[in-house]
Amino acid sequence: MKICEDKNISFKCGKERVIAMGFWGATLYSNDATSDVRDTYKGYLEDQFSNEDAYQKTFYEYQDDMGTEYEPFFWFAMADTQWKVGRLLPEVKEKALEWIEKDGCLDFFKENHKGAETWKNTLQKLKDKLEQPMQKEKNFPKLDQNPWNLHDVYAYQFHTERSEKYGCFGKYILFQKIGEGLHFEKEKLYMHFHVINHLFDDLPVLEDVNRYRVLPLDKLVSIEKRLDKSLKTQAYLPIIKPSDFPKKYFTFLGNKPGPENNGYLECIGDLEGYLSYLYRFWQDRNYEAAEGGVYLYKPE
């Protein structure tokens, strides 16, 4: 399989579980598997679990991966992350070093010579790191997954390269909290919000939240499967790590009465890439409000 940006690869593993795995390079965290293990483990630390419990819970979530072709990804990510936060367990280090000696996961990169060489270098760097004294133990303050009050309005400023390709970099877009709810898997209370479909060159004001339409959070391929052409316009933000919710780029504008949850919630896990893409996607498409705060797509 070739390594390329945003490539989705599906294959079976453990208990016939189907995985859609993305690769965008051959460095340690340039794939979904290692990134997910890292974020899951750190999420448990942020939830104030002990290191042993965070490790065991993460292992439990990925136990179906053990004995499959991508088991090494788990040990590489776990060992590297535990080393960085000063909590490397001996058994994790041992497992990671064993798989490094076997060139673990190299088969994923063999169709791309440059990718294979890069992966070998990645594993050598990881080995060198693990044989050095680990970093000082890092503290993990508890993350608040539900930080806003109902109907709070915030301006978010796009600030990363992912938003540049859509012309959103440096501009502002409005968020308003419209509810909250317990996530069905993570058992965490997440805030629900909608996004206003307008980009601002300068910091907007509170009244702007009622001057523009709500941004649909749907792609066309999903809408065409629905007979009524209804649009998803509400979302929740899974705050698992601090970078999921960059506070310095959210500016509080005030609190203004608005709608509350009235439909299916979309999960927005990538504020920059997903929202900037959706903003551009909907600029030349028709949609209108129906009763009860529902929006409908109106194809040409």
Q: What is the pLDDT of residues 259-280, one digit of tens each?
A: 877 667 888 878 888 899 999 9
The pLDDT of residue 9 is above 50: no
- Locus of tokens 């299916």: 264
Written as one letter, the residue type at 33 is A
Mean confidence (pLDDT) of the chain: 84
Domain boundaries, the chain: 7-130, 152-297
What is the distance between the alpha carbons of residues 57 and 43, in angstroms, rounded to a whole number?
A: 11
Question: Do strands 234-236 and 250-255 pair parallel, antiparallel, or not at all (unpaired)?
Answer: unpaired
Question: Do strands 234-236 and 189-195 pair parallel, antiparallel, or not at all (unpaired)?
Answer: antiparallel
Q: What is the pLDDT of residues 46-56, one digit of tens each?
A: 888 999 999 99
Q: What is the pLDDT of residues 184-238, one digit of tens each?
A: 655 678 899 999 999 999 999 999 999 999 999 887 777 777 777 788 888 888 8
pLDDT confidence of residue 112: 72
The pLDDT of residue 93 is above 70: yes
* Stronger pLDDT, 65 or 20, i.e. the higher one: 65
- Locus of tokens 């509350």: 260
The pLDDT of residue 284 is above 90: no
pLDDT confidence of residue 300: 67
* Percent of the chain residues past pLDDT 90, beyond the cut: 45
Counting Cβ atoms within 10 Å, is residue 198 exposed (0-12), middle (13-18) or buried (19+)?
middle
